[in-house]
Structure 1
Amino acid sequence: MTWPALPWLALLPWLALTVHTAVNAVLLRRLPSADESGARERVAVLLPLRDEAGRVGPCLEGLLAQRGVPGLTIHVLDDGSTDGTADLVKAIAGDRVELITGADLPDGWLGKPHACHQLAEAAKNADILAFVDADVVLAPDAIAEATTLMRGIDVDLLSPYPRIVGAGSSLLQPLLQWSWLTFLPLRGMERSPRPSLAAAGGQWLMIDAESYRRAGGHAAGRTEILEDIALARQLKRSGGRIALADASGVATCQMYDSWPEMINGYTKSLWASFGSPIAAGCVVVLLLLLYALPPAAALIFAITGFGVPALVAAAAYLLGVLGRVITATATGGKAWPAALAHPISIVLFGWLVARSFRLRRAGRLTWRGRAI
């Protein structure tokens, strides 16, 4: 090997990660056309609401339009809303849904796990529990298609991830799908019994009801801000299997309407994603080195006349961009120009992680009027 070729070996980490992203994109589960599976299942759609009058309408209309699952029921819980959410549900759905008034939040519980727990208790006759957030809009065949895939691959929890729209939908929010495809071996996750090797998106979860109760349900994760990940880990601990799927063709999710709302939403939960500040710091530093440093290094090397290092750093940056393009293509996102701003996305993510830990230490984290 000649000396000029040696610097290019530095690209192996970026090349390996991008290849892994591409392999995962090919292997990513996708919802098939619905078969008779839905007709054999009693599916309970569970919708927790707290001050969602501004967005629950499209969600409810999508749920009411579901087809291919004759045994489908819809259960809605109003968790102390003060903006007329319950009245809007009645106006849109009438008696086609079961509207539950949520109980007061007990000590030792967070709001969403408690709401989901109450909904699951109201659906004792269901075979499958479909937890859906108010910001998710489903196409008419979505539940039937998810049921078909879930039973077809024999998993206890299926996380069909919707196409993200709204604030941050190009710059920040695609980092979740990108992180799954880049760092998580998807089929290995399905086969592995390790709880640490688990991922799920709480916007829409399909869970076998018996497996849910065997794992302890949301009661086992009553204090977890990331109740979706906690539930996936509990299912693995109890012997269950989980899978991710791309549902961008049949589901959309507008998590946040504005950048301030998005920043607050991520701040409330990022501290819980890493286990400790040290682990969070290690992850953030690694991401900055891999994806934020290369374009800056390429510019510095080019200005100072180091041609080959500049080209190597530029190639590392472009491999990161390619990973974002692959992710966007596989999950229904927007590839351009957001992929070119991948380093900015990583820096923004690092800032949000730091902000989350800082406000957590100060006891200043709140969400929907409740302290976390």
Structure 2
Amino acid sequence: MAVAVALTAVVAGLTAHAAVNAGRWLRRPPARPGAVAGRVAVLLPLRDEADRVTPCLRALLAQRDVPGLEIIVLDDGSTDGTADVVRRVAAGDRRLRLVTGTPPPAGWLGKPYACHQLARHADPAAGVLVFVDADVVLAPHAVAAAVAELRGARVTLLSPYPRIVAGTAGERLAQPLLQWLWLTFLPLRAMERSRRPSLAAAGGQFLVLDRAGYAAAGGHAAVRDRILEDVELARAVKRSGGRIALADGSGLASCRMYGSWAQLRDGYTKSLWASFGSPVAAAAVVAALLALYTVPPLLAVAAALAGAGRVALVALAGYLLGVAGRVLSARATGGRSWPDALAHPVSVALLGWLTFRSYHLRRTRRLSWRGRPVL
């Protein structure tokens, strides 16, 4: 009984914390921001994205209320005709410029070096840099709203988290955990106020930066060898004295990160090892998540079969509180809540397996992404 009560109490506290984050501290960019003054550079790195970049490009070219907009697209060694797709969609629009990237030098990973090159190509007069991934589709007012929030919040780095689109069963199990994890465990208000680099989060799919602050933090050169370059860039901004903020970007952008189970599995595997600091820390975090969110439904069933009705009810309450947290995070960030939230224990167990796989493949030096090794 004591174990069931303790687990349920902790889950209740975490769900309450998520509710406070979502209801009070999560920033929501303006729906009608008005015209943005000054130059803004939108930067898009591409590597073998011919089959999915068209919606992203069309959305960028449809941006409103940004008179000083420039769009720079970098072809990072694509072999599938990505550059031809970019030229066809741009159709001579002078706001868009396509540049050819060079291979990353020693000590650099591919994504940070592509972003580094893009920033160097941006107009020196552009005071705001907006990094976007190829799987992101922006609403027509997205760039203007994000820039307005960046300036209104007086932060150096703003991460408006897109609405995550999930199609397959694997995506529906894993992808909602991204928003759920930071809403549940990250104190958003403290993150904005604290100078501690360790208290940071960001999503590289849609990232908005004050250019002067980006330069002061060292830009992507400061995170040249980091697989989680988005989070590490946020930490670099904090170390340089800047401020960061997360925002609900579900009204500004949508993103389908992976189109199949294999892509999702390999995408998480390449980076999860970098999320915890050490295998010991990863094991502790995964064990805690499993205890809090996977044990209660199992305990409820076992107790019910054993005739321990009170224990079963308390454990069931723990499970339902976990489901409630998942529903809350989905509704706060534009995601799908039902019936996916009912499988939350399975989602947590899947995260544990992906984490184990990530560390195993890293230890055996078999991690790679987009044809490049992840060391």
TM-score range (shorter-chain normalised) is: over 0.9
Shift of 1:8: 4.5
Kept in 2, the 8 Å contact 1:131–1:204? The answer is yes
Q: What letter matches 1:102 in structure 2?
A: G
- Structure 1 position 261 matched with structure 2 position 263: yes
Aligned to 2:137: 137
For residues 271 and 121 of structure 1, do their structure 2 counterparts lie closer, same or farther at Cα, with a shift above 3 Å needed? same
Deviation at 1:229, TM superposition (A): 0.4
- 2:359 is aligned with 1:365: no
Q: How does 1:27-66 map to 2 (within 5 A)?
A: 27=24, 28-36=26-34, 38-66=35-63
Does 2:353 match 1:315?
no
Deviation at 1:9, TM superposition (A): 6.1
User: Unaligned regions of 5+ residues in structure 2, if any?
Assistant: none
| Displacement after TM superposition at 1:264 (Å) | 0.4
AA in 1 matched with 2:160: P
| 1:29 aligned counterpart, secondary structure | coil
- Alignment correspondent of 1:119: 118
Judge which range, 168-177 or 125-134, deviates more.
Answer: 168-177
Distance 1:293 1:140, change over 3 A: same
User: What residue is the counterpart of 2:194 in the other structure?
Assistant: 192
Counterpart residue identity of residue 156, structure 2: D
- The worse-fitting range, judged by mean Cα deviation, of 99-108 and 225-234 is 99-108
Which of residues 338, 342, 345 is equivalent to 2:344? Answer: 342
What is the rounded CA distance, in whole Å, between the counterparts of 2:20 and 2:171 in structure 1? Answer: 24
Instruction: For residues 320-349 of structure 1, give each alpha carbon's deviation from its aligned partner in whole angstroms, at most 9, with x where no partner exists.
Output: 000001001101111111110000000000
Contact 1:164 1:254 in 2 (8 A): yes
Shift of residue 7, structure 1, vs aligned partner: 6.9
Q: Distance in 2 between matches of 1:230 and 1:139?
A: 27
Aligned partner of 1:282 in structure 2 is 284
- What is residue 178 of structure 1 aligned with on the other side? 180
- Whether the 8 Å contact between 2:7 and 2:292 is mirrored in structure 1 is no
Query: Counterpart of 2:68?
Result: 71
Partner of 1:147: 147
Structure 1, unmatched stretches of 5+, are none
1:237 — aligned with what? 239
2:23 aligned with 1:26: yes
Structure 2: how far apart are the matches of 1:340 and 1:203? 27
Q: How far off its partner does 1:6 sit?
A: 11
Whole-Å Cα distance in 2 between the matches of residues 99 and 306 of structure 1? Answer: 66
* 2:11 is aligned with 1:11: no
TM-score by length of 1: 0.96
Q: Counterpart of 2:30 in structure 1: which amino acid?
A: P
Residue 149 of structure 1, CA deviation: 1.0
Determine if contact 1:7/1:308 at 8 Å carries over to the other structure: no
Is residue 171–residue 258 contact of structure 2 (8 Å, CA) maintained in 1?
no
CA shift in 2, pair 1:278/1:70, >3 Å: same
Code of the residue aligned with 1:284 in structure 2: it is: V
Partners of 2:364 and 2:349 lie apart in 1 by 23
The farther-off stretch of 24-33 and 269-278 is 24-33
Alignment match, 1:98 = 97
Letter in 2 for 1:221: V
Aligned length: 368
The CA deviation at 1:170 is 2.3
Deviation of 1:250 (Å): 2.2
Identical aligned residues as a percent: 63
- Quote the offset at 1:113 in angstroms: 0.2
Look up the SS of the partner of 2:251 in the other structure. coil
User: TM-score, with normalisation over the residues of structure 2?
Assistant: 0.96
Partner of 1:247: 249
Pairwise mapping of residues 199-218 of structure 1 onto structure 2 (< 5 A)? 199-218=201-220
The CA distance in 1 between the partners of 2:32 and 2:148, in whole Å, is 6
RMSD: 1.5
Return structure 1 stretches of 4+ with deviation > 3 angstroms.
4-10, 166-169
